[in-house]
Structure 1
């Protein structure tokens, strides 16, 4: 079978849901379960030290580069920052075509990053930072259709003036604000394309100079009505027609039960009496309630459900004008594939004031617990726990031991400042976890970067409805990251490796008993899946802050990863895709 035939067959198998060749990397998470596990073992722990760079591709867009390459047959599809798409020969890096994206706005909520494309049939699907969903011809890169769901960008000028005039932010530059974008890689199943919005939480990113150092503060402004509602929507893969839309927040269950603890029993330290009293004035906060969606859903075709994590409520940090639990923000939810109807929701953090979004994508697997088979879902939380749920019901089965330090967890922001860790970056950020089925382990990237949370009053008036604002500042204490191997059934940490910088980007596990991970300093590592020992390292020029993939063409296994850094973390940004293999 030649490579053209293999690519065509793989596309048919994916579009019909039968599954692609094990040689390919056909979906963002590797499979619909988001396991990021490859059955290939030509590269293994006995020979990985022989890996060498066989080709690289520079895309010309030097910015935070987070994309997962998609590989069908001998062809690779890759999105760049600012949403260009390139098709490459997967064995040589030769560019076959390039789609150049023209944005409709220069105001992006969440930076220029794209986490990748989806491919099904003869189409490449791309969600864009200006909130468009585009279908391209997989052979030519020509646009087949281009749709933009309803999108608004709240006018933040008044709030900007109020905030940047404050002594804490005087002279600050607003580098990010509210507005819907599609940063996630789309998911495709049964002729439907699924994509969710980021940027729904009303807030500003303000950069200031403090004692000669740049400081990033994320600010939430209470009062007013300038937020957005996040949503996940399904589109017809042939036509681009919107089939259904599920909004993260709605009036019916926005307030919830005013939970005093998390589902795991940890106190939330809420002033519930004050929240109940505020419902009369702020009961309609759900209309601008936030709940972004950052990563591709996992799919259980047998149950007919999608599983997706949701973002924090709006406004972020300052929860005074959004009383109640703010369901279904900072949650894992299960939705009917055909209708978008909510099957169940598990809210990790009711009334979230710390940015503890369910950002890392859910991972699905089956296992026995107490001798009984269970359909399970695991998700690495920004709270620092790995959550294990029954995916048929949403029941919490287990919460792991913490994989990062937890101090002053769920303490509310104050005027004088409250130090918290994990802080707004996590825990685990958007980085995808990986699961090794033979070992029964889930591998998670962790972040230790404490921050101090503040709430400050604002003078309200008829022309300025803002009541207060919350913000965080990172502390000047040392930060670091780690990779943890966790048994999700017992919740125990099997091993941990600590690294000098916060870990963000994602992981890959393989049948060669390897786990691949990168660092912001450009180090790209192969770890022993059993022990965490470093077996091989490549030093890249830019930060390796994207998840690696592996694939095989003509009997040769390749390993590919984007090396383009992450501007939010201060890691060196670039435009390079690196591809490795064993010597011929």
Structure 2
């Protein structure tokens, strides 16, 4: 496995190529001495294989209880009043320097041993802020660059100074929006997940809107020196391209997304990049895009030098559930059928794990096409079957009915919830949204999240997930009102904001989408207008709206009435239906209505596909104090797995970081964080000392926002 790390480590670590794939104990004079060498965390999720793995053994199961805080760094930019900012960054470490992104979307460099700031950007482009998951490093042995997504721009920074490289693009940046235009689309595009390096290319995906006006999700490779586009792969094919016949005739003109927002993995030895994609937009209605819709919801294997498609597999046909592949793939080697096979796997929001031969795309375990219900929404043609892997078994439960109701809900509340469940469409995956309440389980953002899975040197995969019912329904899109061809601020709010913040502005129960009631108490009109124009964190900028439309929404939020003439509105792609929002279902005490566990960590043997163990991840302290066993919680972020026998993971809403015995799932150590660590830790060594660092940003699930990076080490 270490051959994937060789592209970024020093020549002294060549020995790892020979011993890194061993599943036995460390040998004297080789891996046993690994902690005497400085070990980088040189790429997003640890390496090009995205396995979150480190060979470090200094911190192990015997001494992990002695961990202490080594340093803290306040990165800046946290909104601790409204608790709306987040940190999702998995920082990288190169030659003793840590590179990350602040809560205010600025890149920075620190001394990795002390947390002392070396440089920090102060970018002020007329664009929107965002939540970044990290940066990408490139070097030719002389020059050293950090690539960093900021709003719609990709910056190339000098790794030593943080200054933009003037010869890259336009004064150190390129606009990722260039080349993505299509009729009727808005102009929202950002890059919040690091790209991958192949020779002198940086290969990038993007995050775009999820409305019908979304831009297309082309995957593109840029020259690292000049910023010039070298190749592009169109995920919504055009006439004459493979997959064109899986869309309507003018699909490429009328439909967007199918984008790589979750990141990629790369096999540099073979020159293959593995790029997952998300759903076509709009997420929950596809009447305007009949067909299976390649290359939405696909794992794509592309020639890294040319962008040519080598093979693909579609994990959801004609997605109308927003069932994106949620995280980068994992690359590892298994023994299957008596042969060593280099494999690639991807997670599914539904809680599935798909595993393929990395070269041929052949599934390593059987995948069955199963029939699922048709849609009752006019114009919708749900695909009749979906692919279901028979092994490994799902790592989340697959259905929710009244029998699965939490035992902690009693009395009248229980009766009321049971009555609502009985009226809803529920009980299996892939039920198309209808006019009535339709329940997603696991929830709309899935069981696994963007943090993805970790894989150790024995090809054991560890995946965090959550299991919370979420409901929604289809509704008619707001119509224009009045006789003077105008649309009101209220209707604009309903069309653009109501799905998240609620039709009555009450927000979501768990605080993911804050209430907008009594907004004047905690904000003002200019601030909200700027938020709509530029976005913040995970909220996109509403660039599809003209300034007058944004003003009408602000007027409505602050109790005024105004309207916008329809002839002044931009001609955007639309569909006849909307949805009633992402309604996470909690009881009156704030707990999910399903039976625990509400969050889990699962270990899976990828040689056999068998589950080894599953444990709850996270707890509600007040329930634990009552003698309730840990229930698990909502979680965001991934784990780090080490040769020292440990998994390090924060992710849970209880604002803790944990060290877990990777053999058993038992928690060996935990410590409080200044804010929840909704990110993936990094581990590295400098001057022979191993550190574990986590970004503590909070800002989701009604937890406080923060801006700190906290590093732990042995005394």
Q: Report the 3-state secondary structure (helix = DSSP H, G, I; strand = E; otherwise coil) of the residue aligned with 1:65.
A: coil
Whether the aligned pair in 2 keeps the contact of 1:232 and 1:293 (CA below 8 Å) is yes
Whether the aligned pair in 2 keeps the contact of 1:125 and 1:186 (CA below 8 Å) is no
> What CA distance in whole angstroms lies between the structure 1 residues aligned with 2:182 and 2:127?
14
1:446 pairs with 2:465: yes
> What CA distance in whole angstroms lies between the structure 1 residues aligned with 2:446 and 2:8?
37
> What CA distance in whole angstroms lies between the structure 1 residues aligned with 2:364 and 2:580?
34
> What CA distance in whole angstroms lies between the structure 2 residues aligned with 1:550 and 1:81?
21
CA displacement 1:58-100 (0-9 Å, x = unmatched): 1112121011111112211111234311110111111111112
CA displacement 1:496-546 (0-9 Å, x = unmatched): 111332121111000010001112221100000000000000111211111
Greater share of strand: 1
Partner of 2:176: 149
Whether the aligned pair in 1 keeps the contact of 2:45 and 2:682 (CA below 8 Å) is no
> What is the aligned counterpart of 2:612 among 491, 494, 509?
494
1:340 pairs with 2:349: no
1:69 pairs with 2:91: yes
> What is the aligned counterpart of 2:647 among 481, 505, 515?
515
What are the residue-to-residue correspondences of 1:311-326 with 2, within 5 Å? 311-326=278-293
1:503 pairs with 2:495: no
CA displacement 1:125-174 (0-9 Å, x = unmatched): 334242211111111111102111334799999xxxxxxxxxxxxxxxxx
Quickly say closer, same or farther: Cα 1:396–1:470, change in 2 above 3 A: farther
Partner of 1:173: none
Q: Report the 3-state secondary structure (helix = DSSP H, G, I; strand = E; otherwise coil) of the residue aligned with 2:225.
A: coil
CA-CA distance at 1:189 after TM superposition = 2.4
Quickly say closer, same or farther: Cα 1:339–1:138, change in 2 above 3 A: same
1:285 pairs with 2:251: yes
> What CA distance in whole angstroms lies between the structure 2 residues aligned with 1:418 and 1:360?
25
CA displacement 1:337-364 (0-9 Å, x = unmatched): 1111111111100111111111211010
Partner of 1:187: 196
> What CA distance in whole angstroms lies between the structure 2 residues aligned with 1:12 and 1:436?
21
Q: Say which is worse superposed, 306-315 or 486-495, in terms of deviation.
A: 486-495
Q: Report the 3-state secondary structure (helix = DSSP H, G, I; strand = E; otherwise coil) of the residue aligned with 1:143.
A: coil
What are the residue-to-residue correspondences of 1:50-89 with 2, within 5 Å? 50-62=66-78, 63-89=85-111
> What is the aligned counterpart of 1:196 among 205, 215, 219?
205
1:240 pairs with 2:227: yes
Whether the aligned pair in 1 keeps the contact of 2:59 and 2:714 (CA below 8 Å) is yes
Partner of 2:523: none
Quickly say closer, same or farther: Cα 1:180–1:307, change in 2 above 3 A: same
Partner of 2:516: none
> What CA distance in whole angstroms lies between the structure 2 residues aligned with 1:54 and 1:356?
40
> What is the aligned counterpart of 2:122 among 100, 106, 127?
100
Partner of 2:159: 138
Partner of 1:552: 685
What is the total number of aligned residue pairs between the two structures?
Answer: 503
1:34 pairs with 2:67: no
> What CA distance in whole angstroms lies between the structure 1 residues aligned with 2:292 and 2:102?
37
CA-CA distance at 1:13 after TM superposition = 7.0
1:470 pairs with 2:488: no
Q: Report the 3-state secondary structure (helix = DSSP H, G, I; strand = E; otherwise coil) of the residue aligned with 1:335.
A: strand
Greater share of helix: 2
Whether the aligned pair in 1 keeps the contact of 2:190 and 2:207 (CA below 8 Å) is yes
CA displacement 1:9-67 (0-9 Å, x = unmatched): 968879xxx99976111111212111111000000011000000010001112121011
> What CA distance in whole angstroms lies between the structure 2 residues aligned with 1:339 and 1:231?
14
Partner of 1:541: 674
> What is the aligned counterpart of 1:527 among 648, 656, 660?
660
Quickly say closer, same or farther: Cα 1:153–1:113, change in 2 above 3 A: farther
Partner of 2:553: none
Quickly say closer, same or farther: Cα 1:582–1:67, change in 2 above 3 A: same
Partner of 2:333: 366
Whether the aligned pair in 1 keeps the contact of 2:237 and 2:244 (CA below 8 Å) is no
Quickly say closer, same or farther: Cα 1:250–1:153, change in 2 above 3 A: closer
Whether the aligned pair in 1 keeps the contact of 2:176 and 2:190 (CA below 8 Å) is no
Q: Supply the RMSD in Å over aligned alpha carbons.
A: 2.8
Q: TM-score, normalised by structure 1?
A: 0.81
CA-CA distance at 1:476 after TM superposition = 2.6
Partner of 2:451: 431
> What is the aligned counterpart of 1:401 among 393, 396, 402?
393
Whether the aligned pair in 1 keeps the contact of 2:133 and 2:192 (CA below 8 Å) is yes
Quickly say closer, same or farther: Cα 1:296–1:459, change in 2 above 3 A: closer
Gaps of 5+ in 1: 1-8, 158-176, 203-220, 258-278
Whether the aligned pair in 2 keeps the contact of 1:428 and 1:446 (CA below 8 Å) is yes
Quickly say closer, same or farther: Cα 1:286–1:245, change in 2 above 3 A: same
Gaps of 5+ in 2: 1-6, 18-33, 79-84, 166-171, 366-388, 400-427, 486-565, 593-597, 618-631
Whether the aligned pair in 2 keeps the contact of 1:28 and 1:118 (CA below 8 Å) is yes
CA displacement 1:438-493 (0-9 Å, x = unmatched): 3x310001011221231123477997964122344222354321111112233222
> What CA distance in whole angstroms lies between the structure 1 residues aligned with 2:575 and 2:259?
22
Whether the aligned pair in 2 keeps the contact of 1:113 and 1:129 (CA below 8 Å) is no
CA-CA distance at 1:396 after TM superposition = 2.1
Quickly say closer, same or farther: Cα 1:253–1:317, change in 2 above 3 A: farther
Partner of 1:484: 602
Q: Say which is worse superposed, 317-326 or 38-47, in terms of deviation.
A: 317-326
Q: Report the 3-state secondary structure (helix = DSSP H, G, I; strand = E; otherwise coil) of the residue aligned with 2:75.
A: strand
> What CA distance in whole angstroms lies between the structure 1 residues aligned with 2:335 and 2:245?
33
> What CA distance in whole angstroms lies between the structure 2 residues aligned with 1:349 and 1:390?
19
> What CA distance in whole angstroms lies between the structure 2 residues aligned with 1:348 and 1:571?
33
CA-CA distance at 1:294 after TM superposition = 2.1
Whether the aligned pair in 2 keeps the contact of 1:542 and 1:573 (CA below 8 Å) is yes
> What CA distance in whole angstroms lies between the structure 2 residues aligned with 1:450 and 1:286?
34
Quickly say closer, same or farther: Cα 1:367–1:466, change in 2 above 3 A: closer
1:118 pairs with 2:136: yes
> What CA distance in whole angstroms lies between the structure 1 residues aligned with 2:149 and 2:708?
20
> What CA distance in whole angstroms lies between the structure 1 residues aligned with 2:225 and 2:665?
45
